[in-house]
Structure 1
Amino acid sequence: MPVWEEHLADSVGAPAPSAQTTAARRAYFGMISMIDEGIGRVVDALERTGVQGHTWIILHFGG
C-alpha cells in the first residue's frame, strides 16, 4: 500500500483500502497523468507555432 494511503487511513480512522480500490485509484491517476501529458504536448505545439496567445483550450469531461 502506498504511504499516502496508509497516512489517509490513519488520519481519518478508516480501514485501509482494498486491493480493488487501490488498483482503481492507480488506474484513475494514470489516466489523469496521460491527459496531463497530452495537454502539455498541445500547449508545447501552440507555443512552438506562436499561436498560444490566440488559442483557447477547452476541456469537457462527462456525458
Structure 2
Amino acid sequence: MLLVGGLCRSSKEIHYDEQTKRFDIYNEIDDTYQSNLTEKALHTKTNIPEAIKNGVFYYHGEQLWGI
C-alpha cells in the first residue's frame, strides 16, 4: 500500500481462510500480526479496504499457497 500520497509504504502478507471466512494479516513494517479477522473487522481495524478503494493497494511478490 502507498500511504500519504506515496511518501510511505506499508507491506503486508494477507491470508484468507475460506472455511472460517477469516483473514490473517502480517504487517511487515512493524512485525505485528492481526489474526482471525472477520470481513467487518477488516474494514474497522485495518486500512486495507480504504487502500483498495483509493487504488493504492498493489500486489507484489509471490502467492505462497492457494489459487
- TM-score range normalised by the length of the shorter chain: under 0.3
Q: Which has the higher strand share?
A: 2
* Structure of greater Rg: 1
TM superposition score normalised by structure 2: 0.25
* Higher RCO by CA contacts (8 Å cutoff, separation 6 or greater): 2
TM superposition score normalised by structure 1: 0.25
Q: Which has the higher helix share?
A: 1
